[in-house]
Structure 1
Amino acid sequence: MKEKIYSLIEQSLEQATEKDLEVLEQLLKGYLEKREGNGTYIGRLFQLEREIEENECVVRMPITDLSNNSLNIVHGGVTATVLDSAMGSAAYTATPEGYATVTSNLNIHYIAPGTGDELTVKARVLHKGSKTIVVEGEALRADGKKVAHATGTFFLLKKK
C-alpha cells in the first residue's frame, strides 16, 4: 500500500502547478493533524477553527483552492459541510449527558458567492426538545456579506 501511495505522490508532483502544490500541502497537513488527534479529517482538511459556547458555535474556514469550485467560489457542498459542522457543534452544547446528536434535516438557502479570504459560520440553538434540537446557522464572507442561511434539526440518540 505504501508503494502505491508513494507512486501517487510522485505522479502528483511531476507536473504540479503552484496551486496544485498548495492544495496537496493543505491535504497532507490536514491528514497529519488528524493523525495527531486534532479533530476530524474534514475539519483538518478544510482547516476549520471552532469557538464553542453554550448553545452557540462559530467556525472559521480559510477559503482556498481546495474549498473552491470551478468558478473559483466556495463549493456549495463545502458551505453545507461547514454549516452542518457548526450547527452540529451548537446542538451538541444543548445535548443532555449520555446522548449524542445526528443531523436529521438540513435546509440551506444560498444567497451570495463565497469569495474572499475566509468563511465564518455562526450557529445557535433555537429550540431544545426531548427528541430533537433545532439550530440556525449563517455563513458570512470576510466582508460581512451573507453567503448562506440554514436551519437544521438534530436528532438525539442515546449513547451505548
Structure 2
Amino acid sequence: MMKDALQQLLDSCIEHGTETDLDALQHLLEGVQKKIIQNKSTFIDGILHMERTFEQNTCEITIPIQSVLNNNLNILHGGITATVLDTAMGSLANYYLPEGFGAVTNQLNIHYTAPGTGDLLRCKAEIIHQGSKTMVISGEAYRSDGKKIAHATGTFFIISK
C-alpha cells in the first residue's frame, strides 16, 4: 500500500514537475539512497549529501549547494547553513567524548556575513573548551570561492547515553 502511494506521488511529480523540480527531486532521492546504501545514521546526512572528516581536533563537513536548499532569493537558506554548522560542531563534540557519553546542542549562535552561493558549503568546527558537563565549540562556514559566510559558536551538554 505504501509503495503504491509513493509510486503515484513520484509519477505525478515526474509528470508535472519543471526541470528545476525534477533536479531537486533527484537530489533528494539520491540523498535518501545514499543514507540507505552507506547506512548513515540520519536522513539529514544523506539528504544534504554530507561528507565529514576529522583531523587535528577539527571536524569538517562539506555539502553540495543545490537549488532545493535555496531560499526565495535563490541563495543558500540560512537554516541549512545553521544545520551544517551545528552538525559539524556536534559531530566534533561526540567524536571526542568517551564511550557512553554524547553531546547535544544547548545553545547555538550564528553570525551570517555573506550570502551562500556557489557549488559547495564547507563548515569547519574546533573545540574551544571541554569541561565535564559542557563543551564550547566554534564553527565557520565557507562557500566554494573561499569566502566566509558565517561564524558560529555552540555550547553542548555532555550527557550519558
* TM-score normalised by length of structure 1: 0.94
2:87 to 81, 85, 88: 85
Structure 2 CA distance, aligned partners of 1:54 and 1:92?
A: 15
Q: Secondary structure at the match of 1:96?
A: coil
1:59 aligned partner: 61
Among the aligned pairs, what percent are the same residue?
A: 52
1:121 to 123, 147, 150: 123
2:138 to 121, 136, 139: 136
Is 1:45 matched with 2:47?
yes
TM-fit CA distance, 1:55: 2.5
TM-fit CA distance, 1:66: 1.5
2:150 aligned partner: 148
Structure 1 CA distance, aligned partners of 2:86 and 2:32?
A: 21
Structure 1 CA distance, aligned partners of 2:90 and 2:56?
A: 13
Structure 1 CA distance, aligned partners of 2:82 and 2:28?
A: 19
1:3 aligned partner: 4
Moved more, 132-141 or 84-93: 84-93
Q: Secondary structure at the match of 2:69?
A: coil
Is 1:24 matched with 2:25?
yes
Structure 1 CA distance, aligned partners of 2:45 and 2:76?
A: 16
Count of residues paired in the alignment: 159
Structure 2 residue identity aligned to 1:105: Q
Q: Secondary structure at the match of 1:120?
A: strand
Is 1:73 matched with 2:89?
no
Structure 2 CA distance, aligned partners of 1:91 and 1:48?
A: 17
2:103 to 101, 104, 110: 101
Structure 1 CA distance, aligned partners of 2:144 and 2:117?
A: 8
Q: 5+ residue gaps in structure 2?
A: none
Could you list the per-position Cα deviations for residues 1-60 of structure 1 after superposition, in whole angstroms to 9, with x for gaps in the alignment? 222111111110112222111111111111112122134211111111111125210111
2:13 aligned partner: 12
The list of structure 1 runs, each at least 4 consecutive aligned residues, that deviate by more than 2 angstroms after superposition, is: none
Q: 5+ residue gaps in structure 1?
A: none
Structure 2 residue identity aligned to 1:45: I
Q: Is contact 1:52-1:89 (8 Å) kept?
A: no
* TM-score normalised by length of structure 2: 0.94
Q: Is contact 1:62-1:118 (8 Å) kept?
A: yes
Structure 1 CA distance, aligned partners of 2:90 and 2:75?
A: 24
